[in-house]
Structure 1
Amino acid sequence: MTTEVQNRVTSSVVPDELRLNVLPRYLGRHYLTGESMVYDWAARLCSRYEGGFFHFFALSNDGFYMAPVDMGRVHVRWHMNGYSDMMGADAFGITVTLFALCHLAEKTLDDTIIERYHQLREFAAQHVEAANILRAID
């Protein structure tokens, strides 16, 4: 077994009955602010985003992310780094969660939030749309 396969980070959708515990578990006392930031970043990065239901995903490295349901491919644009391209809803969710975690980490200086960012970034680097995600957050 190669090291890459051994270190592969996997994701799984959190079942509906466990959703209420997800954000407090991963973001602690910052869970309401963090959730709001994800939705805010979604609106900033995609003009088509107008709210909607998000799935929560748990990662095998103890990270997490949120991704919109039934959005399909979306155009994502961030003027601060010149990024403008299409990506799938899952990649979009990873991207907006990374932006939100970075913003929340800057605001709170909480080591747990910083760790959550790095856990998600590790997963993002292995994602099928890794190049797009990493260009968007650069």
Structure 2
Amino acid sequence: MSNRERIAAVLVGEEDRIMCLPRLFGLARMIEVEAVTYGYMSKLSADYTGAYWHFYTLSNGGFYMAPGDQPQYRLEWDGNGFSGDVSADAAGLIATLFMLGHMHEKYGEDQFAQLYAWASAYAAQHSEAGPIGAALD
């Protein structure tokens, strides 16, 4: 895939949801992946009180999750001073990227680094690339 090609996000259908996380992370890591993602979302946004999350696969091989209960969230991250309103999709992408970085640092497994790189490439093309980058910086 060239750098100029748009990366497409595809919503994982209900029939494929059950195997999405085990396929990507294995049974041993899938529960931790979800818990860490939800934990980052709770830290990022006082607006977040739990949600049904959508799973997305990316045409470059990546993946991310996004809450589906409200259209936008107010995010604040003390680690870099970020504060701003973003869509639920962008908020989920941010939380997923935090999780992938955390999991790679914790386990050192290449799959987390590769998924982070693919999700980052998508984030750079996202309509909210500016706030996503600022939240992660």
Shared fold per TM-score greater than 0.5: yes
Q: 1:24 to 1:80 in 2, by over 3 A?
A: same
Alignment partners' CA distance in 2, 1:3 and 1:117: 16
Q: Verify: 1:126 aligned to 2:121, yes or no.
A: no
Identity %: 38
Q: Deviations over 1:91-118 (max 9, x none)?
A: 0010000001101110110001110011
CA shift, 1:70, in A, is 2.8
Contact 1:43-1:49 at 8 Å conserved across structures: yes
In the other structure, the counterpart of 1:114 is 113
CA shift, 1:3, in A, is 5.9
- Aligned to 2:126, what secondary structure does the other structure show? coil
Alignment partners' CA distance in 2, 1:93 and 1:107: 21
Residue of structure 1 aligned with 2:13, choices 8, 12, 15: 15
Q: 1:32 to 1:74 in 2, by over 3 A?
A: same
Letter in 2 for 1:68: P
In the other structure, the counterpart of 1:92 is 91
Pairs within 5 Å for 1:66-81: 66-81=65-80
Alignment partners' CA distance in 1, 2:3 and 2:99: 30
Contact 1:78-1:84 at 8 Å conserved across structures: yes
CA shift, 1:26, in A, is 1.6
Contact 1:26-1:63 at 8 Å conserved across structures: no
Unmatched tracts of structure 1, length 5 or more: none
Q: Deviations over 1:7-65 (max 9, x none)?
A: 21100100011101111122234211111111000100001111110000010011110
In the other structure, the counterpart of 2:59 is 60
Contact 1:26-1:116 at 8 Å conserved across structures: no
Runs (4+) off by over 6 Å? none
Contact 2:77-2:83 at 8 Å conserved across structures: yes
Alignment partners' CA distance in 2, 1:70 and 1:50: 10
- For normalisation by structure 2, the TM-score amounts to 0.94
- Aligned to 2:70, what secondary structure does the other structure show? coil
Alignment partners' CA distance in 2, 1:10 and 1:18: 18
In the other structure, the counterpart of 2:32 is 33
